[in-house]
Amino acid sequence: MSGILEGKRILITGVLMESSIAFHTAKLAQEQGAEIILTAFPRPSLTERIAKKLPKPVKVLELDVSSEEQLAGIADQVREHLPTLDGIVHSIGFAPQDALGGNFLDTPWESVATAMQVSAFSLKSLTMALLPLMQDGGSVVGLTFDAQYAWPQYDWMGPAKAALESTNRYLARYLGERNIRCNLISAGPIGSMAAKSIPGFGELADTWNHRSPLKWDLSDPEPAGRGVVALLSDWFPKTTGEIVHVDGGLHAIGA
């Protein structure tokens, strides 16, 4: 029986650790029949080492999404390995340390601007850079952390994720005519590299121990990876501009 991504070609960003959602997305995508290619920054060699744990060998390309020069050349680099793309996975987020950990009121604009460019604007810039490879439509899937709340210690990553969610809706609006779907997975907290960079992450994650209807496991990124793969597949042919929660149901629960 063939997988739900059989014959599809997918570019995946953000594979930094085996514990990351991006890694499990890549693993599941291969298991479901997709050919994949990875991008990495700032240490492609780290991603290359992690990629050896995937079921099949995969090419890793360096890509800094804040570099116009690298974005301008990425489609040609991908084309050397995959002639077209059917999907893009945006798993990119970064904020300087002075934009996190309770420093919200004192964070300078330069740090906020970095968080916004890398974490939100990059969804648009990455998609547009790869658009020439998606002539037959496809699916763009990003990762967010529910931006309707002000989370402890998360600070300027919250507004950055809100911008990401809005950017996703506008991409859905403008790319629908090209038959490109744009959706996000809003995942619960995972003990990834990105999470470990947030001061006080444990306090934030502890919320799931008390309020999540379904038991949440910080060490299990696979449910979120399954959500990404499902949105990459043809099983959601008319879903776009959506945010699918894979968070144990916490988003639906009050105090």
> What residue numbers does the annotated binding site cover?
14, 20-21, 64-65, 92, 95, 161, 190-194
Nearest to 231 by CA among 35, 90, 58: 90
Binding residues for substrate: 95
User: In terms of DSSP bridges, do strands 180-187 and 138-144 run parallel, antiparallel, or are they unpaired?
Assistant: parallel
CA proximity to 38, closest of 55, 16, 21: 16
d(CA 39, CA 11): 7
Helix axes 157-175, 109-116, angle to 10 degrees: 40
Which tokens go with 244?
């699918």
Three-state DSSP class for 152? coil
The conformation of residue 236, written as its DSSP 8-state character, comes to: -
Binding site for NAD(+), by residue number, is 14, 20-21, 64-65, 92, 161, 190-194
Residue 177, judged by CB atoms within 10 A of its CB (0-12, 13-18, 19+), counts as exposed
Strand order of the β-sheet with 243-246 is 60-62, 35-40, 9-13, 87-90, 138-144, 180-187, 243-246
